Chain A
Amino acid sequence: MEVTIKNEGEKTYVTLNGRLDTTNADQFQTDIQPLMTMPKPDIDIDCTDMSYTSSQGLRIFLSLQKSVLARGGKMVMLHMNPQVKEVFDITGFSNIIAIR
């Protein structure tokens, strides 16, 4: 799972590439640490090339969303593939995380 984070003015652009699973969830958690501390975050996460996520990934997305909301920020996940979107739909995550 490759993670790139770019800050442009007030906005933060994150790109995810690869499979998010039990082998790399801890690393992913570490990679996104900068997103967990910025004041009033405004984050776009491009999921075009995220091919897979298991519950290990979901728990990290949920803790990120909780943290973003607690800081009065916003976060949007963009361009999920249909399978990943289904995982978000089934678990109700589509209702608690903005997806476009």
Chain B
Amino acid sequence: MHKRFNPIKDKSSEIIEFLMSSPDMPEDEALRFKLRLSIEEAVENVVRYAYEGGIGWLEAGTSLDEDNLVLTVELRDAGVPFNPLDREDPDITLSAEDREIGGLGIFLCKQMMDSINYRYEDGNNILTMTKNINK
């Protein structure tokens, strides 16, 4: 199930709900929590930073592998080339005083999903995240 949103300014919520309502999504609440969180962080990243003023498109979709075991979420945009995986993980051992505010979004995706991959292809940023939904 795929859909193109254009423009994406202020559309985070609509895009997240579109993905969460996909028939590919599992019913298990704990899994849905992890998926929603990862999707929100990844979508928000594109909506905020990919295009100046949010004027541009994002294509969002889900798919299942042939055994219906592994869910893939894919986000594609034509914004500024940006690999979110280049960002260094936050140091989670620091004290409250020393912790920086922010920088947790993609870190949470990495922790919540089984895999997260980025590629730049034909002028598009393509982020794919997978999760085994039959645990």
In this assembly, does A55 line the interface, its C-beta being within 8 Å of a C-beta of chain B? Answer: yes
- The answer to whether residues A87 and B99 also contact, given A22-B12, A23-B13 and a CB cut-off of 8 A, is no
Would you call B101 and A22 a contact (CB within 8 A)? no
Residues of chain B lying within 8 A (CB to CB) of residue A90: 92, 108, 111-112
Would you call B92 and A92 a contact (CB within 8 A)? yes
CB under 8 Å from chain A, chain B span 29-62: 29-30, 33-34, 36-37, 40-41, 44
| Mask: chain A, 66-82; 1 = CB below 8 Å from B; 0 = not | 10010000000000001
Q: How far is the CA of A90 from the CA of B93 in the complex (A)?
A: 11
Interface centre among B13, B44, B92, B96 (most CB of A within 10 A): B96
Would you call A55 and B101 a contact (CB within 8 A)? no
Q: How far is the CA of A87 from the CA of B37 in the complex (A)?
A: 9
Min distance, Cβ A81 to any Cβ of chain B, angstroms: 9
Would you call A96 and B101 a contact (CB within 8 A)? no
Residues of chain B lying within 8 A (CB to CB) of residue A22: 12-13, 16, 40, 44
Q: How far is the CA of A56 from the CA of B108 in the complex (A)?
A: 12
Q: How far is the CA of A55 from the CA of B36 in the complex (A)?
A: 12
Would you call A52 and B37 a contact (CB within 8 A)? yes
**A-B Cβ contacts below 8 A, count:** 66
> Contact check: which of B12, B99, B102 meets A96 at CB < 8 Å?
B99
Residues of chain A lying within 8 A (CB to CB) of residue B111: 90
CB under 8 Å from chain B, chain A span 37-58: 52, 54-56, 58
Q: How far is the CA of A23 from the CA of B11 in the complex (A)?
A: 10
In this assembly, does A62 line the interface, its C-beta being within 8 Å of a C-beta of chain B? Answer: yes
Q: How far is the CA of A23 from the CA of B99 in the complex (A)?
A: 24
In this assembly, does A11 line the interface, its C-beta being within 8 Å of a C-beta of chain B? Answer: no
Known: A22-B12, A63-B101, A97-B96. 9 other contacts (CB 8 A): A54-B37, A54-B40, A55-B105, A58-B104, A66-B99, A66-B101, A91-B90, A91-B107, A95-B93
